[in-house]
């Protein structure tokens, strides 16, 4: 079975992904793939450099993420252009890995971790979508503590994503990560058993 895993910023998606991995799930992480396509020698990075110029590279040929981030943060049109270059390649790689893993291990649970799954309209790729949920107030608190942000800064980051309540409504499966790690672990144990019966 292949399921999509998503959540919101600071809801604890990585925690749940890690717990599922320890249970034996095969994890495909969209963020890891996104970093891989920006490594020196990858055709996607070459295409990005062609558009944005050599200035976005460090002397060793690595991507200067800070420089690229400043460009796309201040210019939505440029952010869209970056997405047009990178997203098709990231999706294709995810698709290829999903199908490779499901052929290699038909009985395995394959979890594809995609932060902006709903925002990107990718829910139809999966049999089920699991949302890692915490109420917005918990999200804000965790984000401020984790990233040393002011309330205003944290709120602006949350506004950039689909509301977590909306994601919760759309989900087939939900892990509520607003309690302790142990409570989340129990929910993952139960989910693992439930998915094994499907």
Q: Is 137 annotated as a binding residue?
A: no
Annotated binding residue 160: no
| CB within 8 Å of 166: residues ≥ 6 apart | 118
CB neighbours of residue 138 within 10 Å: 18
Which residues does residue 173 pair with via DSSP β-bridges, in sequence order? 130
Q: Would you say 12 is a known binding-site residue?
A: yes
- Please state, in angstroms and rounded to a whole number, the distance separating the CA atoms of residues 171 and 168: 5
Show the tokens assigned to 178: 């607003």
Q: Give me the phi and psi of 89, to 5 degrees please.
A: -70, -40
Annotated binding-site residue? 13: yes
Residue 14, annotated as binding a ligand: yes
Give the residue numbers of the binding site for ATP: 10-15
Residues annotated within the binding site are: 10-15
């Amino acid at each position: 079975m292949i399921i999509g895993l998503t959540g919101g910023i600071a809801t604890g998606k990585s925690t749940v992904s890690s717990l599922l991995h320890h249970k034996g799930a095969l994890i495909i992480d969209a963020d890891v793939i996104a970093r891989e396509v920006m490594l020196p020698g990858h055709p996607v990075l070459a295409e990005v450099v062609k558009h944005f110029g050599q200035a976005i590279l460090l002397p060793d040929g690595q991507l200067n993420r800070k420089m690229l981030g400043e460009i796309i943060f201040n210019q939505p049109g440029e952010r869209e252009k970056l997405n047009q270059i990178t997203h098709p390649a990231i999706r294709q790689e995810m698709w290829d890995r999903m199908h490779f893993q499901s052929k290699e291990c038909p009985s395995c649970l394959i979890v594809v971790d995609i932060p902006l799954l709903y925002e990107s309209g990718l829910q139809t790729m999966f049999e089920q979508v699991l949302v890692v949920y915490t109420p917005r107030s918990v999200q804000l608190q965790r984000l401020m503590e984790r990233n040393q942000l002011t309330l205003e800064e944290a709120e602006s980051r949350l506004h950039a994503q689909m509301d977590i309540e909306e994601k919760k409504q759309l989900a087939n499966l939900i892990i509520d990560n607003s309690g302790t790690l142990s409570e989340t672990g129990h929910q993952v144990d139960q989910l693992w058993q439930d998915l094994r019966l499907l």
